[in-house]
Structure 1
């Protein structure tokens, strides 16, 4: 793919992705997941959704790649217990603990990628290691865990500093 990977643009000093491009990439990836996971009887679980597996074309349209760990799941039988595969940090805790890949485990991975897109910070950001990594840092920064605080109004606090004020607060 001529645009490289999402990882290249977020973390390896390629072209800085504007807010509009980030938003379109997130929406495009969401559409891909909906397509893979929406089927009633069977669905395709990717099991390795991460920024390095999201390729961008010349117009920055997202394409999900690397289906080497993907698994076709029959919903009537439920998720099979399997050897846990994927990239640590992107794996849902339930999948990691019980070895059952599911739609929800892919959706969790998608959420981690969304945080990377929003923050412009790597899952394994060394500055965030003391706080438990990207996900716990985001929860704390938005005020999650404080039940009376409206955390969903605080996602703008996570936006990549390189964008300055050039982002849509409602989309964030």
Structure 2
């Protein structure tokens, strides 16, 4: 793996001592959060004079090692303004470390569900277009097709100007453009996973588009992918929005915290495209280019909306910690 990394271009190899010094020896005070396979720290690289985010991957986990290798092999070759940039890597002794550009505003989910501040519509709409632009690059505009396989709001990072950058490529896979499906172990996050993947285990651009649709609905509605009805039964967000769409009241799905302060046409398109992407029949979903063109007001809305229907497999429910935030450790399906 080390020889393969050395032959790459872009990110550099760091010494462990450099990264330990940058984080005050990985002190708790520098800890930004906990990922699925290890903690993330804020650091300052004196030699480069920049602040960075350093992910410490558990080397004891086979899946952690696979995700570390995937991150370096895949994201280090990508260049796009809406992708988190990897700066470097380190594997020495028992340590696997990844160094990224620092995203000062953290992840999208923290702002969507903040009790103190509302993420207003102009920022949300710009974030929607940014995620779509990143996915268009991954699926169609790069030399190979990149299947992200874990698109969710906690993997969308925000820079100082609240521009969206898609991150966490630990589950990503490269496939040729003329090869539609990638069969692998079941992987992803509950609530965002294409129901068909839970049956077939096949990742595809269509399964990424499903996850993108769920994220669009989450951004527009300010709701988690699954919520409880008044009678206590659980319902997926796409089903809730589909019911309102069928009643001609789709704008009623908009996040009430916005208090109606949004562009009506933009909101309608985000909600409708979200439903279109999240329909359970893969053949009826749009390509990412079709979806982005509608979101950019460059193409009309679909004349007929495919039904959301029922999940092909069991409805996957996300787990939440005591703060109401999704728990990566319990959501990962490997």
TM above 0.5, one fold?
Answer: yes
Q: 1:88 maps to which residue? A: 190
Residues 47 and 105, structure 1, Cα contact 8 Å, conserved in 2? yes
Alpha-carbon separation, structure 1, partners of 2:107 and 2:126: 15
Structure (1 or 2) with the larger CA radius of gyration: 2
Check the 8 A contact 2:184/2:203 in 1, yes or no. Answer: yes
RMSD of aligned residue pairs (Cα, Å)? 1.9
2:251 aligns with one of 150, 153, 156: 156
1:13 pairs with 2:115: yes
Does the alignment pair 1:69 with 2:164?
no
| Cα distance in structure 2, aligned partners of 1:14 and 1:69 | 33
- The structure with the greater share of residues assigned to strand is 2
Higher helix share: 1
Deviations along 1:51-99, whole A, 9 cap, x unmatched? 0000001110000010000000124343132111000111112222111
Work out the CA distance in 1 between the residues paired with 2:115 and 2:138: 31
Q: What SS class does the counterpart of residue 125 from structure 1 fall into?
A: strand
- Displacement, 1:14? 5.2
Deviations 1:99-152 (A, max 9, x none): 111111101100000000000011133458625221211111221xxxxx6x5x
- Which residue in the other structure is 2:140 paired with? 38
- Residue 41 of structure 1 and its aligned partner are, at CA, apart by 6.8
Q: CA separation in 2, counterparts of 1:29 and 1:72?
A: 19
| 4+ runs deviating over 6 angstroms | none
69 and 18 in structure 1: CA distance in 2 versus 1, 3 angstrom threshold: same
Query: Cα distance, 1:42 vs. partner?
Result: 2.7
Q: 1:165 and 2:260 equivalent? A: yes
| Structure 1 counterpart of 2:233, from 119, 130, 134 | 130
- Unpaired runs of at least 5, structure 1: 144-148
Shift of 1:13: 2.5
User: Conserved in 1, the CA contact under 8 Å of 2:145 and 2:175?
Assistant: yes
* Distance in structure 2 (CA, Å) of the matches to 1:55 and 1:93: 25
Partner SS, residue 183 of structure 2 = coil
Matches of 2:150 and 2:253, distance apart in 1: 24
Quick one: structure 1 residues 14 and 96, their matched pair in 2 at CA, closer, same or farther if it must change by over 3 Å? farther
Structure 2 unaligned runs (5+)?
A: 1-102, 268-334
CA distance, structure 2, for counterparts of residue 77 and residue 38 of structure 1: 12
The residue aligned with 1:141 is: 244
Report the TM-score when normalising by structure 2: 0.46
Q: Give the TM-score, by structure 1 length.
A: 0.87
